[in-house]
Structure 1
Amino acid sequence: MSIIETIEADYQKFPANQSYNIYAEDVYFKDPLTEFQGIKRYQSMINFISTWFKDINLELHSIKQIENTIHTEWTLNWTTPLPWQPRISIPGWSELKINTDQKIISHIDYWHCSRWEVLKQHFSL
């Protein structure tokens, strides 16, 4: 399976059974909330998402590779475990840099909305 096919499959089943073997041991990750390095930290972040949030859906809109960069467009949705069960939606994109071994060495997520807009979704009715 190609790295593109693996990423597509991972988006469909996110956050369950992710293909961590496509990431370098020292992978760099950044999104609007956090920044770190290392596959163990990446696995911990995915585990936190799957443990804390409910009804998670990561919809892949597009994926393309240009040289050593894979670009994905997506929307992440989940239900936050608050008494009123707000449904959260974050549209965004990722830039994944791959090395010559076809391992992801950098995964940077960008959002089409601000952190404030995401926070407000938790309190709007």
Structure 2
Amino acid sequence: MTFRERPWLQSGISRKDAVAAIRSDYDSNYFVSGKGDMVAYADDCLFADPFAGFNGVERFKNNVSNLGGLMEDINLEVSGWEERETELETKWRFSALLSLPWRPRLAASGGTTHVFDEETGLVVKHIESWNVEPSAVVKSLLKPSAKKPSNSWEKFFKAVHDGHPGASWMAAASPILRWYAFPVVALSAVSKGFTGHGLPGTFLGTIEGFAYVLGFAAAITQFYQLSQKSD
């Protein structure tokens, strides 16, 4: 049975038990995976990081577990652990692969300040600071972890990350033709065969019209790429 399943502990907890519980949470990668028990926290604890701030342990666990469900190969290392009169301050670094088609690696280092309530001993503030700009973290999500891209997704996002629009289009042409333009044009042809009309709407203002335009551009790009390979 966990502390949170024993509600009377919410009225107070010793510093020793609170610190031990927090240590156990770190061992469970709690702020990356959302799998910690987090029994040392007040139910309405404030959670803040460079991206957002809100109250509530259950909300925190739900938010983190949604992202944690996409993570593989999680590595969390605690490099600092300083206990003060009303706070526990940690330093950490972590990395993980995200289960997205281009498999980016998310990595960051920073620290967390756990602020204890003087009466209950529970953590009432959980403040994260990162040693990297949030924009840099977002940009890193565009970069595939593979050194040599092996599929269209990896090629596309590597080109976007590197700021090469031409290469981005080259990588996107084949998926656009295969998964968007061709199916929509095929449906349009079937619709015309049975009803005498294409898909509803005006030509350039619909999915159908956009598919024709993108499909034509993607087909030209594919033809160019094939001709380059044959030279």
Q: TM-score, normalised by structure 1?
A: 0.88
| Larger RCO (alpha carbons 8 Å, 6+ apart) | 1
Using the alignment, how far apart are the partners of 1:108 and 1:46 within structure 2?
Answer: 15
- 3-state SS, counterpart of residue 5 of structure 1: helix
Using the alignment, how far apart are the partners of 1:2 and 1:97 within structure 2?
Answer: 15
Is residue 64 of structure 2 the alignment partner of residue 40 of structure 1?
Answer: no
Unaligned runs of 5+ in 1: none
- Residues 35 and 61 in structure 2, CA contact (< 8 A), matched pair in contact too: no
RMSD over equivalenced CA pairs, Å: 1.8
Of the structure 1 ranges 43-52 and 89-98, higher mean CA displacement relative to structure 2 is found in 43-52
- 3-state SS, counterpart of residue 27 of structure 1: strand
Counterpart for residue 6 of structure 1: 21
Runs of 4+ in 1 over 6 A off after TM superposition: none
Q: Using the TM superposition, give the Cα deviation of residue 89 of structure 1 relative to its aligned residue in structure 2, in angstroms.
A: 0.8
Using the alignment, how far apart are the partners of 1:39 and 1:9 within structure 2?
Answer: 16
Q: Greater strand percent: which structure?
A: 1
Using the alignment, how far apart are the partners of 2:70 and 2:95 within structure 1?
Answer: 13
Q: Greater helix percent: which structure?
A: 2
Specify the structure having the higher radius of gyration (Cα): 2
Superposed, 1:97-116 pairs within 5 Å as 97-99=115-117, 100-116=119-135
Match of 1:73 among 85, 91, 94: 91
Deviations 1:21-58 (A, max 9, x none): 21101100001112101122112123213222222222
Q: TM-score, normalised by structure 2?
A: 0.50
Unaligned runs of 5+ in 2: 1-15, 148-231
Q: Using the TM superposition, give the Cα deviation of residue 87 of structure 1 relative to its aligned residue in structure 2, in angstroms.
A: 1.5
Q: Using the TM superposition, give the Cα deviation of residue 65 of structure 1 relative to its aligned residue in structure 2, in angstroms.
A: 1.1
